[in-house]
Amino acid sequence: MPDVPTMRELLGDDTPSNWGKWGPDDEVGALNYLDADQVLRGARHIRTGEVFTLQAPMGHPHGDPVFPGRESINRHNVLDESSWDEGREGAPAFPGGLHYADDKAEIFLQGSTQYDALGHVWYDGRIWNGYDARTTVDGLTKASVQPIAERGVAGRGVLIDIARHRGKQWLDKGETFDHHDLQDAARAQGVELGLRDILLIRTGFLSYFYSVPAEEFYADFVEPGLTYSRELVEWFAEQEIPNLVTDTIANEVTRDPVSGVVLPLHCALMRNLGVVLTEIVQLDALAEACAADGRWDFLYTAAPLNVVEGTGSPVNPVVIR
C-alpha cells in the first residue's frame, strides 16, 4: 500500500468545520440542532405507541461486541443467598432477616451500546471546538460525555436499512456505502431524509457478531460502513445531522479503502463538525417493525450515563413509533 497520509493531509485544511458555531465554550456540537421544535417534530411521528430499546446486552454469554483492545464487562456478585450459608462470614444481619443481592462490574465505558464524547478522538493536538488535546489527560475536562448526558438527545429519527436494501442479512467485512447509497435506500423505503434528522443505519453486522465465533468475527478485523469522501462530509454538514447511530462498533468502515487511514470520519464528522456518534446499537427488531408497516421514522431519545470527564458512556436508546 502507498504511504498513508496524515489525517490533515486526507481531510485538508479547508475541511468543513463547526468550530465556534455555538460559541467558544460549546461541548455538545451538532446536538445544538435538536432544539424544542425538533423534539416536537420527532414526537409527531409517534403513531402506534410501540417502544423499542436499542442497547445490546452487556455480559452476553457469547461475549460483547467491543473494539479490539477492549474487553467485555466483568460482572460478579458481591452478595447473594449463598452469602448467608452456614459458616460464611461478612453477610449483614438486618433486623427482620432481610437478605439481598448486590453486584459490581468493571467495564469499558465504550464496551457496549454507547455514546462517544466529542473529545474522544482528535488530530493535530486539537479536539472538538479547538480545545487543546491536553484537556484529555487523566480525564476529559472539555467535551466529555457529561454535557451530552446532562442535555439528552431527542428528535426525529430515521432508520436506513442498508443491509435490507442490498438484499443481505448483513453486509460483508469492509463493505462500504456513502450518502448516495443512503439516499437511494431512503427512496426505496419511501422515507425522506430531512434536515436535522437523527440518522440510524442498519448494516446487520451486530447480528453477524452473535452468529459466528469471536475468532471469525475478529479475524482480519474490518467492519462495513460509511466511507470517507469530501462530498459525504459536506452532505452531513448541509443536512445538519446531529447524531449518527449504527449497529457497528465504529460507525464507519474501519480502514478507509482508498487512503488506508483508520477511522477518518471520526475526525471529519465528530472532531470537526461536532456530529455525535452512537455505536453498537441493536436495530434488528426496530427494522423488522419498520419494514412491516413501511414507517421508517419515529421519535428517537437517548441519555448516556452522566460520567464526569468520561470519554463515552453506555446507553439504552429508546425509540417510540
> Does residue 236 share a domain with residue 209?
yes
Residue 174 has pLDDT above 90, yes or no: yes
> Does residue 99 share a domain with residue 115?
no
Burial 128-142 (b: 16+ CB within 10 A, else e): bbebeeebbeeebeb
Please check whether residue 239 lies inside any domain of the structure: yes
Domain that residue 311 falls in: 7-68+108-320
Please check whether residue 164 lies inside any domain of the structure: yes
> Does residue 100 share a domain with residue 205?
no
Please check whether residue 267 lies inside any domain of the structure: yes
pTM of the model: 0.96
Query: What is the pLDDT at residue 87?
Result: 84
Please check whether residue 1 lies inside any domain of the structure: no
> Does residue 271 share a domain with residue 250?
yes
> Does residue 299 share a domain with residue 171?
yes
Q: What does the pLDDT look like over 237-292, one tens digit per residue? A: 999 999 999 999 999 999 999 999 999 999 999 999 999 999 999 999 999 999 99
Q: What does the pLDDT look like over 200-235, one tens digit per residue? A: 999 999 999 999 999 999 999 999 999 999 999 999
Q: How far apart are CA 17 and CA 112, in angstroms?
A: 29
Q: How far apart are CA 91 and CA 235, in angstroms?
A: 59
> Does residue 137 share a domain with residue 83?
no
Please check whether residue 40 lies inside any domain of the structure: yes
Kindly report the average pLDDT of the chain as a whole number. 97
